[in-house]
Amino acid sequence: MLEQSSDSGVDLDFIYNTIGPGTALPGMLAAKLSLGHPVKFRSISIQTYDDGDWMNPGVIVERTKAVLGTLDADVPNDDVIRAEIDVDQRFIGEDYAVASPESTAAIRELASSEGVFVGPVYTGKGLAGMLDHARTGRIPADSNVAFLHTGDTGNLFEIPEVVGSIAD
């Protein structure tokens, strides 16, 4: 993503992603840290993400260190990696695999304005968080932002709260 944006003449300020089991963020953090890039990752969580939960910032730190070690890259101390983790848990909704009103609205907005579909369980919640951050000023107006679409569209049409009844 960083190479593609740079090749296009865009320096990314933020990359938004949805975080659940913590599989994408460690690799992205390892890339950022090994390249010394200033981009900030903002993760919108689909589950609780606090110390003591099965998935938590400490797990992301350990996974990031493992990726960096595999690459024979410098491995910073835990505090440096932990300072890069920014997880917003306000968009989880009712539960892990349940579409929320915010994600449903975000899915409809993107689909109607851009013709792009995201799923209701993961990516829709991340999109809802990013839109909220943009509308509330958490993303400065002149920022360059990328959104990592991690899939989840396969079950989009199974949830009538999102698309209405299509079984009729």
Domain ranges of the chain: 2-151
Rounded CA gap, 99 and 86, in Å? 22
Q: What is the pLDDT of residues 82-125, one digit of tens each?
A: 999 999 999 999 988 788 899 989 999 999 999 988 888 789 99
Q: Write out the E strands in the chain.
A: 14-19, 40-45, 87-88, 145-147
49 burial type by CB count under 10 A (0-12 exposed, 13-18 middle, 19+ buried)? buried
Say what the pLDDT of residue 20 is: 85
- Listed in sequence order, the residues at least 6 apart from 101 whose beta carbon sits closer than 8 Å to its beta carbon are 93
Architecture of domain 2-151: 3-Layer(aba) Sandwich (3.40)
Instruction: Give the H or E element holding residue 66.
Output: helix 57-70
- Listed in sequence order, the residues at least 6 apart from 62 whose beta carbon sits closer than 8 Å to its beta carbon are none
Low-confidence ranges of the chain (pLDDT < 70): 152-168
